[in-house]
A and B are shown apart, each in its own frame.
Chain A
Amino acid sequence: DTAVSQTPKYLVTQMGNDKSIKCEQNLGHDTMYWYKQDSKKFLKIMFSYNNKELIINETVPNRFSPKSPDKAHLNLHINSLELGDSAVYFCASSLTGAGNTIYFGEGSWLTVV
């Protein structure tokens, strides 16, 4: 069984469109994250949620809006897509507390054309 699953895995869309990426974890974790990996493989946190509450919002444009309907799900909606949004987006989860392992999903490859 996949621990952290995200869909879709691949997404190609035109500039200006709105798209969503869904994420679910079955590990019983209470904290979930979105990370962005750029074309140079650099990984940077975007958001974290703890029990559906937004904890970290790392200076991400307002076009990105995360939503956590429950602690097992964290979706990412992106409005008015731009070329620079092309990246791999990773969902992740962990138990609350420093030092806990963060488990990553397989990634969603977003290409904006």
Chain B
Amino acid sequence: AQSVTQLGSHVSVSEGALVLLRCNYSSSVPPYLFWYVQYPNQGLQLLLKYTSAATLVKGINGFEAEFKKSETSFHLTKPSAHMSDAAEYFCAVSDRGGSNYKLTFGKGTLLTVNP
């Protein structure tokens, strides 16, 4: 079964600092990978996704992620954190076939941004 592991349930950075949120996947075949963001009391919004085109994926709000097959990783980065980036971030994985398409989520990483 597909799974993802998010390292660090809570990451705290200063405003203007680099944001790095870690995600590793478990799959024998490179899966599709996603990052979603959840602001307080809101639904999930897609930041970016990897579907086997370019390994460096650019998303909304200045975020990007790099798919590294050798490391089975899909870490999310942003060069300079903004206060508005404070939210819960979820990495998710899906397999590549079948009618039973679904996302399997990691446990989430809470990002706090300090002024």
Name B43's contact: one of A42, A56, A96, A106 (CB within 8 Å): A106
- Whether A99 and B107, one on each chain, are in contact in the complex, defined by CB atoms closer than 8 angstroms, is no
Q: For this complex, into which size category does the number of interface residues on chain A fall?
A: 20 to 34
Other CB < 8 Å A-B pairs besides A90-B44, A102-B46, 5 of them?
A: A41-B108, A48-B100, A99-B32, A99-B96, A104-B36
- Whether B94 and A99, one on each chain, are in contact in the complex, defined by CB atoms closer than 8 angstroms, is yes
CA A20 to CA B55, docked complex, whole Å = 42
- Whether B88 and A94, one on each chain, are in contact in the complex, defined by CB atoms closer than 8 angstroms, is no
Given contacts A41-B88, A98-B94, A107-B43, contact A55 B99 (CB under 8 A): yes
Chain B, residue nearest A41 (CB): B108
- Whether A105 and B105, one on each chain, are in contact in the complex, defined by CB atoms closer than 8 angstroms, is no
Cβ-based interface call for A100 (8 A):
yes
